[in-house]
Amino acid sequence: MERMDVGPVSIRVSWDFGVFSALGSLGLFVALFVSGCAQVSSPTGGPKDETPPVLVAAVPEVGATEVMPDQLVLAFDEYVKAGQWRPQLLVSPPLYGPMDLVVRGREVELSWEGGLKENTTYVFQFGEGIVDVNEGNPAQQLVHAFSTGSTLDTLVIQGVVRDAIEGSPSKDLRVMLYPEDLPLDSILAGMAPQFVGTTNGTGAFEVGYLPEGRFRLMAVED
């Protein structure tokens, strides 16, 4: 995936309610400002498993083009579970039909109803929704993307969101990207964003698989 770093003039940045450009093969780093009693002992029998599950295969493959699936199948290197997957899952652009997730041993099947748009890159971010069975270690940076067209969008925007008054990192915020020409009234009325990311414990976020273009950016508490 192509990344952008501040520097060359092929990146044009302008601010208007958080407007930015994603132009060219380089990238952009944006700093945003927004407003018991019982004793429990560890079980014995060996060291604690702290290794997260790793994705080893997927159908369709990550980065596949010219596909029009109605489900994703993800295979991991160990047995997994997905008890709280729904609030963790982010799909860009949004899918409006019902979705269902089934775990079968080491495989996760995510299915949905409703068609997909033609010539569109779809991105599925699972957050910490998929964990191993034994210790609950979440799969790290679990993202799947495919395109219904012949090309896969590959631009990336990274940034940091900080509190405007205290300057402290703002974690667990939804970072939402909208087309630049979308009226502000439509955004405030609750229109679904075109792309979505989430800030981590340091306030950092990354939104990937973007097309070239200009977007309005908002960071809100979910």
CA 202 to each of CA 125, 163, 164, 199: distance values in angstroms, whole numbers, following the listed order: 19, 12, 15, 7
What is the structure's pLDDT at 96? 87
pLDDT 10s digit of each residue in the chain, 222 long? Answer: 544 433 322 223 333 344 454 543 333 334 433 334 445 555 555 677 789 999 999 999 999 999 999 999 999 999 999 988 999 999 999 998 999 999 999 999 999 998 899 999 999 999 999 999 999 999 998 999 999 999 999 999 999 999 989 999 999 999 999 988 888 888 888 888 889 999 999 999 999 999 998 888 889 987
Burial class (CB within 10 angstroms; exposed 0-12, middle 13-18, buried 19+) of 39: exposed
pTM (two decimals): 0.74
Q: Enumerate the domain spans of the chain.
A: 19-31+153-221, 55-147
Report the half-sphere exposure of 184 (CA within 13 A, side-chain side).
Answer: 5
Could you check whether the bond before residue 93 is cis, i.e. omega within 30 degrees of 0? Answer: yes
Could you tell me which CATH number the domain at 55-147 has?
2.60.40.1220
In the 8-state DSSP scheme, what is residue 70? S
